[in-house]
A and B are shown apart, each in its own frame.
Chain A
C-alpha cells in the first residue's frame, strides 16, 4: 500500500453516489453520407461521486470518443450531456472552457508537464490559467503536491522526477481548482507495474476520501481491482457496465 498523504480538509465535492455527470444516448458520427463513420452510438452512462470507473475496450472501440465527449472536449452528434443540473451538449466553445475548468481535471499517459517548470510551478500555473483570480496558486499547488505525496519534490523539474512522480504531478495539476471529476487517458500506460498500481491507488484514494469521480480509460485489466465499475466499449457501443467494487 502506497502512503498517500490525503488531506482531511479536502472538500467533498458531492455526496457519495451522487451523479455528477450523465450521458444519455450520446453518439458521435464523423463525416456525412456514404463516408459517415459512427465512432460512438447511443452511449448512456452516469458518473457518480466517489466512484472509480474504468473504460476498457480494444483500440478504435470508441473509448477516447466517449471520454472526450464526457470531458466536453468533443461535441456529440446526438444525445445529451447533463452537468450542473442542465443539458450542456449544445453549448458553444465560449461557455465550455469555464465549464471544463469547474468540473474536470485531466491526466494523460504522456504527463504533458512543461519541462522548464518545477513541479510546483507546473501545478500553480495550471491553477492560475484555470482561474486567473485564484488567490494563492502557489500555496494551493504546494498543498496538492503534498496531498499526492510529492512534498519533498516541489522544486524538481520533470526531468528530475521518475515516471510515477511525474504522473503524480499531473494528478496534482488535475486537482487544481478542485474539479469533481478526474478523467484519465491511459494514465498508467507509460509506467512500470509497481508504479502504475501506486498511481491507481492514489486515484482510488482520491475517490474515496474527497468524493471525486474518477474515470480512467485503460487497456490494463489489472487495474480493475481499483474500480467500482468497468465500462466495456466495443465497436462504438457500450457493451456492458460491470460492477467491480474490489476496493471496498
Chain B
C-alpha cells in the first residue's frame, strides 16, 4: 500500500509539491506559534523557575507576579517563624526609572534580592557572562542582561547610571534573562532596590522565599503559611504556573498564538484535503476497478490514508527545519521560540491527525464508490 500510495503521489510531482508545501507551512506555523507562546511563558516565569525556593509567599490580593503590592518587614519575620521553615529570604520587585546615556529615562523592572554575605541567595542572576554578581551586595550595584544593553545605552560592565536619581553601577552582565513586560530586568540587592523605590514605604518586601527544613513536607509548611492573614503561599511550580496562566489569559497572548497555530492547521487541512481529493477523483475509475474485482474498501482506504501519512511525514520533515530556521532568525530579535522534543512530537501527531482528517472526504468518496460505475462509461 505504501508503495502504491507513494507512486500515486509522486506521479504528479507539482501537485505533490503543493501538498508538501501546505503541510510544511502548517507545521512551521504550529511550531513557531506554539514555540513563541512557550518562549513567552518561559520568560514570564523565568525568575520563579530559576529560584531555589521551595515556597513563594506573597500577598493574597496579588494577581500578577510583576505588579505585586509589597508588605512590610514584619510579615517576613512572621513567615520565618513558621514551623518547618529552614530559612527565608526577601525579594522586592517593582518598577523604577533608569537614566539613559542620552539623557532620557526608561522604566526598568527592579528585582531586589537578599545578598546577605555568606548566605547563598535563593534568587540571583544566572548566566553571568561578565563582571561579578557577588558584588551586588555593594550599594548601588546592579546586574543587567546583555540583550538590554542597546535599550539601556549601556556598553560595558562598570557603566555608571542613575535609577530614580540614585547612583547605580553595572557590576555584572547576564545572558538570556528577559522580562515579559519588555521593561529590562535590573538585579540588585534589596537594600539598594529600596533606595531606588522610596515611594514603597519603609522596608517593603514583595515576596518571601522559603526553604523548607529537611524532613518537613512542603505542602504542610505551605498550608501553615497560608493560614497566616493576608498571605498566600505557593510551591515554586504553582507560582510558575500561576504567572504563566495570568499572562496567558489576562493578555490574550495565549489565544493569539493558538489562533494562529489553529489557522496553520486549517491551511494544512484544506491544502492536503484538496490535493488528496483531486488525486482520488483522478484515479476513481482505477479504484472502482479494484473494488469491482473484489478489493475490500479497507484496502482502498489504506492507500488513501497512506498518501495522507506520507504527506504528513514529508511535510513535517520540511516544516520542522523551517521552524528551526525561524527560531534562529527570531533570536536576533530577542524573541524566544521554545522548541522542545515534546512540542516536535506533539506537532508530528497533530500533523498526522490533520492529514488523516483531510483524507476523510476522499475516503468517503471511495467508500461510496459503486463498483458498477466502472461499467457505465
Contacts and interface: CB of A to CB of B under 8 A. Distances in A.
Contacts of B295: 97, 101, 126, 129-130
B292 A100 contact: yes
Contacts of B299: 129, 132
A148 interface: no
Contacts of A177: 293-294
Interface residues of B, number: 28
Interface stretch (A81-89, A113-121, A240-248): A113-121
Given A106-B289, A113-B286, A132-B299, A73 B294 contact: no
Interface string B260-302: 0000000000000000000000010110111111111101100
Contacts of A67: 375
Nearest to B373: A73
Interface of A: 64, 67-68, 71, 73-74, 97-102, 104-106, 108-110, 112-117, 121, 125-126, 129-130, 132, 173-174, 176-177, 185
Contacts of B7: 114, 116-117, 121
Contacts of B377: 108-110
Given A97-B291, A177-B293, 16 more contacts: A64-B376, A100-B292, A101-B293, A101-B294, A102-B294, A104-B293, A108-B285, A108-B374, A110-B377, A114-B4, A114-B286, A121-B4, A126-B295, A129-B293, A129-B296, A185-B374
Interface in B279-332: 283, 285-286, 288-297, 299-300
Nearest to A102: B294
B372 interface: yes
Interface in B6-22: 7-8, 10-11
B371 interface: yes
Nearest to B3: A121
A174 B293 contact: yes
A163 to B, nearest CB: 16
A92 B138 CA distance: 89
Contacts, number: 85
A117 B376 CA distance: 24
In the A-B complex, the 7 residue pairs with the closest CB atoms = A101-B294, A116-B11, A129-B295, A73-B372, A100-B294, A112-B289, A116-B7
Nearest to B6: A116
B294 A110 contact: no
A98 B294 contact: yes
A116 B8 contact: yes
A117 B3 CA distance: 10
Contacts of A185: 374-375
B293 A105 contact: yes
Contacts of A112: 285-286, 288-289, 374
A125 B6 CA distance: 13
26 contacts: A64-B375, A73-B370, A73-B372, A74-B372, A97-B295, A97-B296, A100-B294, A101-B293, A101-B294, A104-B292, A110-B285, A112-B289, A114-B7, A114-B286, A116-B7, A116-B11, A117-B4, A117-B7, A121-B4, A121-B7, A126-B293, A130-B294, A173-B293, A177-B294, A185-B374, A185-B375
Nearest to B374: A108
